[in-house]
Amino acid sequence: MHYFGYKSGELYCEEVPVKKILEDVGTPVYIYSAKTIRRHYKIFEESFSEVEHLICYSIKANSNIAIISLLRQLGSGADVVSAGELKRALKAGIPPKKIVFSGVGKSPEEIELALSVDILMFNVESIEELEVLGEVAKKIGKKAPFALRINPDVDPKTHPYISTGLKKSKFGIPEELAIDAYKRAKKNSYLQPIGIDAHIGSQITELTPFIEALNRLKKIWEELVKLGFELKYLDIGGGLGIVYDDEEPPLPEEYANAIIQGGKDLKATIILEPGRVIVGNAGILVTKVLYTKENILRKFVVVDAGMNDLIRPAFYQAYHKIIPIEDKYSDYEVVDVVGPICETSDFFAKERKLPKVQRGDFLAIMSAGAYGFVMSSNYNSRPRPPEVLVDGDTYYVIRRRETIEDLLALESIPAKYL
C-alpha cells in the first residue's frame, strides 16, 4: 500500500496536492511519502518480532540522508556498499554497530574507514578480500568482525542483471569453498568470524529461492558450529519484490514466517537487508508533457524527464505504471512515453494505453522510490531533479535541483586551451 491517490480528481501524496509541489519546485521531480516508508518498515519489523533480528536498510535503493534518518528513527540499521554510503549512514545518525558493509569490491581505504568507526561486520566476498581485511585490521590494531557471503547457486527467478546468487555471478564465495575459508580465517587473530551471509538477488517474487538459499546456509552454519566457531549473525540479505505491474510477491508476513521457520533451530540473530520493499512504492517521478507527436507507426508523448533521471525502463526494460496528476480524461490512446535524451532507449513506456494528454499536462511515473534517483546521471549535461519528502500535510525539499553551474563546477580548462 502507498499514500498516493486522487482526491476530487487531483493526485495527492498523503495530504499534499502534487500540483502544489510542482508549483514550488517544477519538473521533473521525485516525490516520496514518509507515511508509506514508515508503514512498510513497521510491517517488516512486526513480521520478525518473535525472533532476534536486525533490519539493515539497503542504502543503495535510495540513499537520501533524510530517508535514511527517517528509517533510523524507526530503529533501522544500514547495509552499505561503499565509503560514500557508509558516510551517508553515519551522517543520518545510524549507530555503527547497526551497519554491515557489503559489496564485491571494497578498497583497503574503505575497509580502514569502516573498521575505524567500529561497524557491526563486513560481508566478505572473496578469499583475497578476507586477506586484505586481515592486513588492514592488523595495521590499525583492531579485530575485524565478518561474515562470508556465500554464493549458494540459487536461481532467484528475476532479471539477470539483478540476479546475484548463481555460480556465474561475481558475488560471494562458492559454498564448496566456504568451510575452508572460515578455517583459514580462524588462524588470523585479527579476523573475527561472527556470521554467515547470502544475498541472491533483487525483485524476487517467490518464496522458494529464499528458502533454498536459507537451507544451504544452515548446513554451513551447523558444520561451522561443530568445528567450534562461535557464530551469532545469519544475514539473509534482501531482495523481496514489490508490485510494479501484475506481480504477486509474497507479503512480508509470509516471507518472515518462511525465514523464521527455516532458521528456528539456529541460535542466530537474523540480519535483513530490505531496500526496494521499503521505499520502492513510496516514491514517484513527476514529469511534464513537452510535446505530442506522431509518425506513421507510432504516437509519442515527449516528457521532460529522461533515462538519465530514471534508467530502469531503458536498462531493465522495467515496467512502471504511469498516471496523470489530474483524473480528468475520457479519451485514451496507445502511445510511447519518451524523454529528451538522444538515445532510442530513452523511454518510460512503449505501446501503453494512456489518457490522451497534451502539451503542459503532468504525468506521475509510479513505484520510483527505489533505484530511481540513485541511478540517475548527468548524461546530455542534464542537471538531476530535486527530491521532495511529504509527511502528512507538509513537504520538504530534501535535495535541491542541480544547476548547470553545479555540473561545470568540478571541471577546469587548462591555460593552454584558453
Residues above pLDDT 90, as percent of the chain = 78
Amino acid sitting at position 31: I
pLDDT at 157: 53
Q: Does residue 218 register a pLDDT over 90?
A: no
172 is in an annotated binding site: no
Flag whether 371 is marked binding: yes
pLDDT band at 153 (very low <50, low <70, confident <90, very high): low
Alpha-carbon Rg of the chain, whole angstroms?
Answer: 23
Other beta carbons within 10 angstroms of residue 239's beta carbon come to: 29
CATH homologous superfamily of 34-276 equals Alanine racemase (3.20.20.10)
Among 297, 342, 409, 410, the active-site one is 342
For 4-32+280-408, give the CATH class: mainly beta
Can you give the residue ranges of every domain in the chain?
A: 4-32+280-408, 34-276
Annotation-wise, does 247 bind a ligand? no
pLDDT at 216 over 90: no
Residue 159 predicted with pLDDT over 50: no
Q: What's residue 165's pLDDT?
A: 42
358, with CB counted inside 10 A (0-12, 13-18, 19+), is exposed
Residues 175-209: pLDDT tens digits? 788 899 999 999 999 999 999 988 777 688 788 88
Task: Name the least confident of 144-153, 279-288, 335-344.
Answer: 144-153
pLDDT bucket at 265, cuts 50 / 70 / 90: confident
pLDDT tens track for 94-148: 999 999 999 999 999 999 999 999 999 999 999 999 999 999 999 999 999 999 9
343 is in an annotated binding site: yes
312 is in an annotated binding site: yes
Instruction: Tell me which of 274 and 238 has the higher pLDDT.
Output: 274
319 is in an annotated binding site: no
216 is in an annotated binding site: no
Q: What does the pLDDT read at residue 262?
A: 84
Model confidence at 168, pLDDT cuts 50, 70, 90, reads low
Mean pLDDT of 237-258: 87
* pLDDT at residue 350 greater than cutoff 90: yes
Known binder of ligand: residue 222? no
Mean pLDDT of 344-372: 97
- pTM for the predicted model, two decimal places: 0.94
Q: Is the pLDDT score of 163 beyond 80? A: no
For the residues 339-344, what does the mean pLDDT come to?
Answer: 96
273 is in an annotated binding site: yes
Mean pLDDT, residues 54-82 taken together: 98
pLDDT at 177: 85
* 13 labelled catalytic: no
